[in-house]
Structure 1
Amino acid sequence: MPYRFKSRRLRRRSGARGFSLVEMLVAVAIVGLLIGLVGPSAMRQLQSSRVKATEAQITQLRSALDIFLIDTGRYPSAQEGLNALVNSGGLIPGWNGPYLRDGNMPVDPWGGTYEYILNNGEVRVRSLGADGRPGGTGLDADIQG
């Protein structure tokens, strides 16, 4: 009796069909071609999305700086920097913040910090781009507003 049971199980297995090596290689080749064709354009889209997200965050920071100016009558000093938008330390008269959502300072899409530049009353906010260094071209270029 046990012998008959084993033979049925073996018969069932031998009737099952799997993938051949050639079928597997064809599937892997097709996936490789798709990645090779679609991958570079997807990466370009990702990088351009990061630039657009950075521009949007800089616009948000500039708006928060303008509200800070309305409340306090001045922009943050170079020493206070952008941190003055989320924490006054109780030392800024008229401060009515935090001026950023959730009270957190955003980082740029590449994980870098935004730079605050105050020069003769002119305010700029800058991201150093993909390379994290001043200057650069293309995706490595600084983004400022």
Structure 2
Amino acid sequence: MNAIQRHRRVVVPPVRWGFTLLELLVVIIVLGLLAGLVAPQIFGRVGEAKVTTARTQMTLLGTALDSYRLDNGIYPTSEQGLVALRVKPTREPIPSNWKGPYLRKDIPLDPWDRPYQYRAPGIRNATGYDLATPGRDGAEGGTGEDADLVGQS
């Protein structure tokens, strides 16, 4: 190695890692736009899913009520309520052929965390029952997710 090669220094510019402020702002703006477009779609689906869940739960409760009626000849009264699907009623009329529990789990609340409204005999069907939930708003009437869901037999 000669003297010239020993004294030669290689100058390397410093390496800078990271993003510039402008690049970060562009990414934040793009993410904000995407969130603004996608979020309403997702939250709209949550409401639809709750309505579907309520319908499914009401069908399940209706099936259990029909099984109760097949065994006992009548639906549980309004006073006995949906609890009669889990525990043999002690109020009149006491079922003579109760083979429950007719539901594996506890009586579900509706997707808006309120109990289902049960009435037997029903207003809509005097020989059956009415099963309802008032929807998201908890009030009678409404449209969309606020609409009342009513099942009957």
Does TM, scored on the shorter chain, surpass 0.5?
yes
Partner of 2:53: 53
Number of matched pairs: 131
Deviations 1:3-51 (A, max 9, x none): xxxxxxxxxxx63511222222111111111111111111111211111
Aligned twin of 1:140: 146
1:122 aligned partner: 128
Letter in 1 for 2:74: R
The answer for unaligned runs of 5 or more in structure 1 is 1-13
Q: 2:118 & 2:84 partners in 1: Cα distance?
A: 11
The match for 2:109 among 100, 103, 107 is 107
Per the alignment, in what secondary structure is the counterpart of residue 57 of structure 1?
Answer: helix
Letter in 1 for 2:145: L
Aligned-residue sequence identity (percent) comes to: 39
1:111 Cα deviation from its structure 2 partner: 1.3
Distance 1:20 1:127 in 2: 54
Judging by fraction of residues, say which structure has more helix. 1
Contact 1:112 1:128 in 2 (8 A): no
Runs of 4+, deviation exceeding 6 Å: none
Instruction: Determine helix, strand or coil for the equivalent of 1:101.
Output: coil
- Selected match of 2:137 from 112, 131, 136: 131
- AA partner of residue 140 (structure 1): D
* TM-score, normalised with respect to structure 2: 0.78
